[in-house]
Structure 1
Amino acid sequence: MKKVLIITYYWPPSGGAGVQRWLKFTRYLPENGWIPVVFTPENPEAPAEDRSLLDEVPDEVEVVKLKIWEPFEIYKKLTGRSKNSKINAGFLKEETGNSFAEKVSLWIRGNLFIPDAKRFWIRPSVKFLVKMLKEQKVDVIVSTGPPHSMHIIAEKVSKRTKIPWIADFRDPWTDIDFYDKLRLSGWADRMHHKLQLKVLKNADEVVIVGRNWAKGLQRHYSRKIEVITNGYDKADITTKHVKYPEKFSIVHVGSINADRNHSFFWASLEYCIENVDGFSEDFELMLVGKNDVSVTLDIRKYGLSKHVNFISYIPHNEVIAAEQKAAVLYLPLNNTPNAKGILTGKFFEYLASGRPIFAIGPVDGDLAHILNETGAGTISDFDDQEGMKKNLITFYKAFKNKSLTCKSENIRIYERSELTKKMVELFESVL
C-alpha cells in the first residue's frame, strides 16, 4: 500500500461544500491501494459544522492536525460581530449594510493576507511536515485549494523532500468569481499572479474540476491541466421510500450569494403564481442553506414569502433524501465572468437524486454540456426570463400529469469511486 499526504483546510467535522471532494476520495483510496494521511488545521474557521461526516472517514485514514492562527478575531471585532459568529464564504451577506469597517477589512484581506487569511499557517506547517516526512514515508503529496495557502505549503514541502506533488484546484485562483471584489492594489494583484504561476510551474500535476476552468489556468501558464470533476457517492443514494411529490416543490440546497440571486427567476415564479391555474396552490420553495440578504428582499418584492420555507442547514447524510422529495431541483450559477466553468459539487448529487434540474447559467458552459448529455434537466441563460417561464410551466404541467421524471443517463462516470480511480492513475503517473 502506498501513501498520499493530503493537505486540506476543510475536513470533518467542518461542513459545507469544501469538505466533500477529498473526504470522498479518501473513502475510496484504500480499496485502490493508497492509504491517505490527511493534514488539516486543529481549529479551523469553518462556515458550518457537520459531525455526521466523521462517520464517513475510513478507519485506514490517518488524520494529522496542527493549530492554526487566523486573523478572524480581529475581523469580528472590527466589524462588530460576536466571537462565535461564522464567516460566510463567497461574499454572502445575511444582513443589510455596507459599513466602513467592512470595506476596510476587505481591503486588508485582499492586500495584506496573500494568498488568503490562512497564510500564517504556511511556515509552521512546512516546518512540521518536513520533520514528519523524515520519519514517515509518503509517496505523493496533494494540496487542495482554495484556500490556496495549501498549495504554497505543498510547494515548499515538495521542494525540500523531493516528494512528487499534485495541486488540486476546486476553484480557480485569480479567475475566481469574487477576485475583482478584493480591492487589490497593483502590487497585491501581481503577488497573487506570481504565487499562482509558481504553483502552476512547479507542481508535477495540476488538476481542476472543469474544462473551461482548465483552459483558464492554461492562459496563465501553458501546461497540461487534468480535469477530474466533482461527483456523487453511490453509497449515499437510496431509492427506498421515494414517493412522487405531493406538492410542486422546488428545492435548492446550498448557499445563494448575490451573484447567484437572479431576479428573473423570482419574477418568473410570480408570473406562474398569477397566471397558471393551480400553480399557487401546489407550489412551494425550499431553500436549504444560507442566503444573501438580496434573496430575502427579492422574495418579498415578488410576493413569494408565503410559499418559501427557509432551512439553515441539514447534515450531509440527509441531503440526498431531501433532494429526492423535490419535484424540481433549482441550480443557479454565479453570474460572473467564470460562469461557463462552474460545476458545483451539489450539481452531481442533483444528478444522482433522480429529480429534474432547473438551472440558470450559460447555455454553452460545462454544466449545460452535462445537462444535455445526461438529459437531467433544463438550463436558461441569466437574462432569459421567457425561457425560465416556459421551463417552469412545462415542469408544472408534467407534475400535474404525474409524469415529472428525469432521465439522468450515463451518469456513472461521475460516481466518486470511478473518479477516485482517475485520481489514482494520476498518483501513479508522478512516481
Structure 2
Amino acid sequence: MHKVLVIAYYWPPAGGPGVQRWLKFVKYLRNFDIEPVVYIPQNPNYPILDKDLVKEIPEGIQILEHPIREPYALASIVSKKKTKTISSGVIPEKKPSFVEKILLWVRGNFFIPDARKFWVRPSIKYLSKIIELEGIKTVITTGPPHSVHLIGLGLKKLHQIQWVADFRDPWTSIGYHSKLKLSKASQRKHKVLEKNVLNAADKLIVTSRTTKTEFEQITKKPIKVITNGFDDVKQETELDDNFTISHIGSLLTRRNPTHFWEAIKIAINENEDFKKQLKIQLIGVAGEEVLETVKENGLQSYVEQLGYLSHSDVLKAQQKSQVLLLLEIDSAETKGIIPGKLFEYLNAGRPILAIGPSEWEAGEIVQETNAGAVFSHTDTTALKDLLLTWFKTYQKGKLTLNSKGIQQFHRRELTKALANYIEWESS
C-alpha cells in the first residue's frame, strides 16, 4: 500500500470546510490502496471548534503531532476579541480601529506568508526523520495557511519525494490580501514564495478553473482541479412548515446581498401569505453591517441568527430548509471561489438561490446541475419574482428539484481522482 504523508494545519476538532476537505480524503484514500499518515500541530489556535468532527476521523489512521508556536496568544493580550477575529480570517469591513490597524499591519508584514510560519522549520526537522523511518515517497501539503507549503518546499530539498501542493484557496490573489496593509517589500516576498512553491512542487491541486488559469501563468507544473464535495449524510428529514430560506457560513459586509433584502421586502408587501410564512436563517457569523441592512428593510422579525452550528446540525438545517442561499462577493477576483457548502447544498436536494459575480464558477455548477437559479447582486425585480414563484410552488407542496450529475462531487469520486493523480511513479 502506498503510504502518503498529509501535512495540514486544520484538523478536528477545528471546524469549517477546510477541515472537511482532507478529513474526507483521508477517509476514502484506503479504498484506493493509499495509506494516509496525517501531520498536524499539537497545540493549535483554532478560532472555530467542532468536536463532532473528531468522530469522523477514520479508525487506525496514524496522526503525528508536533508543537507549534503561534503569536496570537501574545497578541490577544492587546485585544483578545480582535485577535481572534483576525486570526480566523475575518478582516474588519468598516473603518478599522487603531488596534485593528496595528494587528493587521503586524499580521501582514511580520508574519509572511502567515502567522503559522514558526511551525515550518521544526516540522521539516521532525518530518525528515519520519520520511526516512516510514519510507514515505509522497508528501501532500494543504493550505491555507500557505506556510504549510513551505514545509513541503523544505522537505523536497532534502528528500527524494513526490510533493503535491493542494491550494484550497489562491495565495496572492485572494481577496483579503489587499486588506493586510502589505508593504511593497512584503508583497514581493509573497510573490517570490508563491512562485517558489508552485515551481518546486511536482504536482498542484486547486479547487477551481480560475485558480488553475492563474497558476498556469506562473508555472508549467501539472495542475488538477479537484473541487470540494459532499459525503453520504442525507437523512430522512421533514421540511420546515415555514418558507425557510437558509444561509450557511460567514455573511460579512462585502457579501451582503442588499438587493436580496430589498427583494424580500417587496415580496412581503406584495403577498400577505409570504409575509406570514417567511423565515430566514443565518447559520454562522453575521456582520454588523448585514444586520443593519436587515433592520433598514424592516426584516428583523423574519431573520433568525443561529450562530455557528456543528457540521451535523448544519446538514440537518440544510435538508429541512425550503431554499438554500448561496452568496459571493460581487467582484471579478471572486469568480473562481466555489464555497464548500455548495456541494452539501447539492446533496441536500433543496433549491439553491445563488447570488454572485459575473462568470461565477459556483453559479455555473448550479446551472449545470439544474439545482436552482443564479442572479447578479443587482437583480432585485427578478429575485422578487422568483421568490414569489417558488413560494407559490411551496404552498402546493411541490417545491422540489430534478438535479443531475451531482454524484461527480461525492467525496469518494473526488478521492478516486486524487488517488489517480498522486500515484507514485518511481521513475
TM-score category, normalised to shorter length: over 0.9
State the partner residue of 1:355: 350
State the partner residue of 2:55: 55
SS at match of 1:21: helix
Shift of 1:88: 5.6
Q: Please give the alpha-carbon distance, in whole angstroms, between the structure 2 residues aligned to 1:370 and 1:358.
A: 12
Aligned partner of 1:89: which letter? S
Q: Please give the alpha-carbon distance, in whole angstroms, between the structure 2 residues aligned to 1:21 and 1:219.
A: 26
Q: Is the 8 A contact 1:352 1:408 kept in 2?
A: no
Shift of 1:86: 6.1
Q: Please give the alpha-carbon distance, in whole angstroms, between the structure 2 residues aligned to 1:357 and 1:52.
A: 26
Q: Is the 8 A contact 1:47 1:87 kept in 2?
A: no
Answering whether residue 380 of structure 2 is matched by residue 389 of structure 1, we say no
Shift of 1:267: 1.3
Q: Percent identity?
A: 38
Which consecutive unaligned segments of at least 5 residues does structure 1 have? none
State the partner residue of 2:79: 79
Shift of 1:317: 1.9
State the partner residue of 1:419: 414
For 1:237, which of 221, 227, 234 is the aligned residue? 234
User: Quick one: structure 1 residues 62 and 166, their matched pair in 2 at CA, closer, same or farther if it must change by over 3 Å?
Assistant: same
User: Quick one: structure 1 residues 82 and 229, their matched pair in 2 at CA, closer, same or farther if it must change by over 3 Å?
Assistant: closer
Q: Please give the alpha-carbon distance, in whole angstroms, between the structure 2 residues aligned to 1:193 and 1:28.
A: 34
Please show how residues 143-292 of structure 1 align to structure 2 within 5 Å. 143-234=141-232, 236-238=233-235, 240=236, 242-292=237-287
SS at match of 1:409: coil
Q: Please give the alpha-carbon distance, in whole angstroms, between the structure 2 residues aligned to 1:244 and 1:133.
A: 50
Aligned partner of 2:55: which letter? D
Aligned partner of 2:398: which letter? S
Q: Please give the alpha-carbon distance, in whole angstroms, between the structure 1 residues aligned to 2:288 and 2:412.
A: 38
User: Quick one: structure 1 residues 384 and 222, their matched pair in 2 at CA, closer, same or farther if it must change by over 3 Å?
Assistant: farther
For 1:332, which of 312, 320, 327 is the aligned residue? 327
Q: Is the 8 A contact 1:116 1:147 kept in 2?
A: yes
Q: Is the 8 A contact 2:162 2:424 kept in 1?
A: no
Q: Please give the alpha-carbon distance, in whole angstroms, between the structure 2 residues aligned to 1:264 and 1:283.
A: 17
TM-score if structure 2 supplies the norm length? 0.96
TM-score if structure 1 supplies the norm length? 0.95
Deviant stretches of 4+, over 4 Å? 85-88
Q: Please give the alpha-carbon distance, in whole angstroms, between the structure 1 residues aligned to 2:91 and 2:393.
A: 35
Aligned partner of 1:391: which letter? L
SS at match of 1:43: coil
Shift of 1:93: 4.9
Shift of 1:362: 2.6
Answering whether residue 366 of structure 2 is matched by residue 371 of structure 1, we say yes
SS at match of 1:78: coil
Shift of 1:80: 5.3
Shift of 1:363: 4.4
Q: Please give the alpha-carbon distance, in whole angstroms, between the structure 2 residues aligned to 1:336 and 1:283.
A: 30
Q: What per-residue deviation string (whole Å, max 9, x for no partner) do you get for residues 219-239 of structure 1?
A: 2334432100100002x122x
Q: Is the 8 A contact 1:36 1:60 kept in 2?
A: no
Q: Is the 8 A contact 1:35 1:60 kept in 2?
A: no
Number of matched pairs: 426
SS at match of 1:81: helix
Q: Please give the alpha-carbon distance, in whole angstroms, between the structure 2 residues aligned to 1:264 and 1:230.
A: 28
